[in-house]
Structure 1
Amino acid sequence: MGWLVGEILEWDMMASAPENTAKRAVARRVGRALLGGYGALPDTTVVSRAAVLRVLTHAHDFAAYRGWHPELTHYARSLSRLVDETRAGTLLASSGLL
């Protein structure tokens, strides 16, 4: 579940430009549907950590196999925020998934 949440967070993160509000709304709707489909969530901290790990792994893979790209700067900023929100226990709520 956390891995899929990470994919959804990344989708939302990459659609953060103002012209992409419809894409962000869809990403959040999909995330809420995924989490809602499970009924009672397991430990949200574990789900959040797995989600952040997925985004980090994707950024690493991109950098390792494709090389540097300016988009990775956006990933670094976003990952910092995702880690902070995970530590605070607010990642899923602040991302609009709960």
Structure 2
Amino acid sequence: MASFGDLIKSETPVLVDFYADWCGPCKMMAPYLEEVAQKMKGKVKVIKVDVDRNQQASMKYQVQSIPTLILFQNGQIKWRQAGVVDPNTIMNQINQVAK
């Protein structure tokens, strides 16, 4: 299995959802992220990172509130947003990166 560092180095944008199972707003994000993943298949990879199980990644990217979405491309942060974000906003950000 590829490491987190390898996954985010992809030329294809990678949307990372930093979440926790106990987080209410994170649960609200789940169907939004599924919609984004389906509508943008091939344009973006969506991965979920549980902050309780992956504290190292959370600390490295200074995730202080959840959910936090970070869009990576070639290992660089292209967009970052904390809180619940609607699918259209997410897709607009992905479209700006995935040219």
Normalised by the length of structure 2, the TM-score is 0.29
Q: Which has the higher helix share?
A: 1
Normalised by the length of structure 1, the TM-score is 0.30
In terms of Rg, which structure is larger?
Answer: 1
Q: Which has the higher strand share?
A: 2
